[in-house]
Amino acid sequence: VRSDLLVAMALLGLAASLAGAVTPPRTRVRLSVALTVAACGCGFALAADVLATGGSASVHTSRLVPLLGLALRLDPLGALFVAVTAGIGACAMVFRLGYRGHGLASRTASCVLPLFITTLLLVPTASAVGTFLFLWELMAVTSLLLVLADHRVRPEVQQAGQWYAVMTQFGASVLILALVLLATHAGSQSFALIALHGPHLSPWVRSMVFVLAVVGFGSKAGAVPLHVWLPRAHPEAPGPVSALMSAAMVNLGVYGIIRVGDTLLGGGPAWWWLLVMALGGLSALFGSLHSSTSTDLKRLLAYSTTDNIGLMLLGVGASGLFAATGHRPLAVVALVAALLHVVCHAVFKGSLFLSASSLQQATGLRDLDRLGGLVTRLPLSAPVFIVAGLAICALPPLCGFVSEWLLLQSLLHGLPSADTAIEVAMPLGVGVLALTGGLTAATFVKAIGVGLLGQPRSQDAGSAREVPASMWGGAGLLALLCVVFGVAPFLVLPAVVDAARSGLGYGAAHPLAQGWSVGLEGVGGLLAPGLLALGLVLAVSVAAGVRQMAQRGALRRTEAWGCGRENQTARMQYTATSFAEPLTRVFDDVLAPSHDLDVSHSAESRYYVESAAFHTTTHDAFERHAYRPLSAGLGWWGRLARRVPNGSVHRYLAFGLAALVVVLVAVG
């Protein structure tokens, strides 16, 4: 039955893609959405079955892909990622029903979007190097086509597409190198056989494969310094696509690192995992810092994805480090925390990207400095954004809190250790987590406070209308899951523990969930999110009651106090830029803000100012100091190389002769 479900999932996805390509425009969207949601349903049922009862599902065929065949096998680790993707995919497709514009209604996009979701669902099931790379490339190409969906209308999309194409192909080529190297040395391309031989390969090969895999998967995950495509591609992609990329696709980078590092290579020396932790810490800090100063809503969310990927990598790295130093229970807890954060991040970031697209559709704006006053104008989309925004700040009783609490616990409990690497890495990890948490809170105070509350800062924001039910419904479903997972993590924890066990090859004998609470086996520590939620609800209602009593209904609504100023406009409110200004100032070494003050004086006298314009931007240090020089250098090299073939036939003949001589000399 399981293999049938796997096949049904793939076929339904392909059928959805076909339906998008051949049916007439009127039925195109609905039919492809229905079929894709069905495929996601199959995928979710399959993954849930694998997670609930253990075991695996496999399909092998030697026909579909030439030479390599297609080998699919779903184990609990992959099943967790399939389940996450299926949930996000279904919600994003429901959202797409009401989504207008951004070129997503075209035949190409309708055909490619289901294909993208199908490959996302299939990548974690791949069980051979060839299949994996084939599906991985298919995923990269389909996502690139979707990022470019709107390229005819907006030129900035083309630039984003170029960045994404280069980065994703760079990552893929590094991955090909890593996996082919691994398969060659292990003597097989099947994951099961590689996992048998992997731990016994020479340390050089193992380390080389791991480092290459971290680079390749890190570029897909958006880990710093390979993140540069993320803040460009995510904002320019259509809403459902950016949600899928941020909530489902980048997870697969984390999946790949766990798969290669823990399963195929069977763990490794401490420095591997310190490298992963360092990448994670850097991503978390850099991402949260940039998201706290971004004023473009989707760019802010994209940087926040880098931040959260960093937290997951921190957990994965800590888990590997614990395993390398023989702390097995801690390794399980850390990996569970990382995987739970994958689930939670998918849920809240999917919801945030979808509702940000709702805001964009309702107002036509992404610029926080021009939004505002939306909580009354979008009474359904705005609360969805707020709930997901509170979840990403890791506030109880929402899901981000549980996963970050687990991560913090696993880092803290590693402290009384005899190992120097752990003693240095863990406090730094805790510090990163703390600073990131603070910056994320500032980011979403800004996003919610400036973007949704207050008065509208522009006419477009003032005339916003609520979006169709499918849009706020798709985003709202994910926001609801934020609450459910936060209050009752025992619904999802056993599955996550299973996945971690299948990743590491050993695990906790009992699931971490104990009744209504989360307990940490082997290290101590207990959290009862349900009680916490109950306490919070009680405290809030008592506070509201006391306030009601104290006010006794005497509430006067007047204008905000503005020092008696006569023309008080919405432009005088706090903006995203002004809110982030202190942070920009504190971290100006990293953010390198550039200010541009343009003052034009009156013609009669320089003492009179006619107009003044102030412009401030922050720059991505990696893009500015690493990628720009690199791309300039490549351009220079290309121009230089262009001089060599100048059209002269004689020169080409001379090249041929020279090459022949070189070959003859080399062979002789």
Q: What is the binding site for other proteins (CB under 8 A)?
A: 556, 558-559, 561-566
Sign of the dihedral through C-alpha 446, 447, 451, 452 = negative
Nearer to other proteins, 558 or 605 (CB): 558
Query: Nearest distance from residue 441's CB to other proteins, in Å?
Result: 27
Asked if residue 407 lies in contact with residue 314, where contact means CB atoms within 8 angstroms, the answer is: yes
Nearer to other proteins among residue 200 and residue 552 (C-beta)? 552
Least Å from the CB of residue 545 to other proteins? 22
Of 146, 115, 133, residue with least CA distance to 12: 115
Q: How many CA atoms lie within 13 A of 453 on its CB side?
A: 11
Pairing relation of β-strands 57-61 and 594-601? unpaired
Query: Residue 560 or residue 667: which is nearer to other proteins going by CB?
Result: 560
Nearer to other proteins, 24 or 564 (CB): 564
CB of 556 to other proteins, least distance (A): 7
Least distance in angstroms from the C-beta of 602 to other proteins: 23
466 touches 472 (CB < 8 A) = yes
Nearer to other proteins, 557 or 595 (CB): 557
- Calculate the CA dihedral of residues 478, 483, 488, 491 and round it to 10 degrees: 0
Query: Can you tell me which residue has the tokens 């893009």?
Result: 623
d(CA 371, CA 392): 21
What span, in angstroms and rounded, lies between the C-alpha atoms of 619 and 614?
17
Closer CB to other proteins, residue 505 or residue 562?
562
Identify any residues that bridge with 518 across adjacent strands, giving them in sequence order. Answer: 513, 527
Given the complex with other proteins, which of 559 and 610 has the nearer CB atom? 559
Q: Name the burial class of residue 333, with classes exposed (0-12), middle (13-18) and buried (19+) by CB atoms within 10 angstroms of its CB.
A: buried
Nearest to 280 by CA among 323, 362, 342, 232: 342
Beta carbon nearer to other proteins, 561 or 608:
561
Least gap, CB of 574 to other proteins (angstroms): 17
The nearest distance, CB 564 to other proteins, in angstroms, is: 3
Smallest separation, CB 567 to other proteins (Å): 10
Give the C-alpha separation, 286 to 263, whole Å.
29
Contact 482, 242 (CB under 8 A): no
Strand-pairing partners, residue 73, are 58
Task: Please state, in angstroms and rounded to a whole number, the distance separating the CA atoms of residues 211 and 226.
Answer: 14
Minimum distance of other proteins from residue 570's CB (angstroms): 17
Q: Shortest gap between Cβ of 569 and other proteins (angstroms)?
A: 15
Nearer to other proteins, 54 or 562 (CB): 562
